[in-house]
Amino acid sequence: MDIALQVMLNPANHDLSYDAAKQARRFTAGDVLDGMLASDIATLDGNGDYIPNEPISSPRSGFVFITDVPNRAIRKIKDWITRPEINAIDQETILRRRLFGVRVGSIPVAIRQQILTDRYITFTWTQVKNFLENKGTGVLITDADLPE
């Protein structure tokens, strides 16, 4: 099974230091925004890479296509990867963020540049496991972490 993750590439960077709650809610580079079947939004080319069916309209996000994901129900994988982590900032503010994200700093510079330029890239599941982490614990995901 092949999946696509929509990932934040160029987050907004205007000053929000005056409002800690807004600053905490802001997406950061590497945040996973959504997950879906790769075949729903892209086509495989002759080299085994996915090419989006439509131009990527968002200047801030892109897609990481992942091939050879262990055979699980896509809905469970999508829900697992995009599930929120809920934190209270104060009595009135609840922060819901994705629990998983891409370790952008661990991706080799040439590949990061390709993602920023093309706004999409294809990895195998084995490759992407080196960059996809539980943001709460900082631990990289493994096959054993995937829901059944």
Helix (H/G/I), strand (E/B), else coil: 92: coil
DSSP 8-state symbol, 55:
-
Residue at token pair 């096959």: 143
Write the pLDDT tens digit of every residue in 70-125.
876 566 667 777 766 655 555 555 555 677 788 888 888 999 899 989 999 999 98
Confidence of residue 129 (pLDDT cuts 50, 70, 90): confident
What is the residue extent of each domain of the chain? 3-145
Please tell me the predicted confidence (pLDDT) of residue 124: 92
Helix (H/G/I), strand (E/B), else coil: 18: coil
Global confidence as pTM: 0.81
Residue pair 124/68 in contact by the 8 Å Cβ criterion: yes
Please count the residues of the chain. Answer: 148
